[in-house]
Amino acid sequence: MDAGLIAIGAGLAIGLAGIGTGIAQQGTGAAAVGATAEDPKMFGKGIIFMALPETIVIFGFVIAFLLFGLASTAPATP
C-alpha cells in the first residue's frame, strides 16, 4: 500500500473527526451554557455533555495512529 495514501487517510480521520466534534459541540455548548445560567447545579452535567463529543476525536486519533503504524510497515513503491 502506498504510504502517501495512508497518510492522507490518517489526515482525513483526524480532520473529519475534528469537524464532527465541532458541529456536535456547537449545540451542546449553547445548551450547557443556557442550563448553567438558569441553574448553577447543572454545571457538572454540562461539562460531561461537552466532553462526550471529544471521544469522536479520540477515535479519529486512534485510527490515524494505527494507519501511521501501517504506513511504517508498508513496502516502498518505486
Q: pLDDT (tens digit, 9 = 90+) per residue, 36-78?
A: 999 999 999 999 989 988 899 999 899 989 988 877 776 666 6
pLDDT at 77: 61
Asked if pLDDT for residue 6 goes beyond 90, the answer is: no
Q: Residue range 12-27: average pLDDT? A: 92
pLDDT at 38: 94
pLDDT band at 4 (very low <50, low <70, confident <90, very high): confident
Cα 13 from Cα 34, distance rounded (Å): 32
Task: Please give the model's pTM, rounded to 2 decimal places.
Answer: 0.74
Per CATH, domain 3-73 is 1.20.20.10: yes
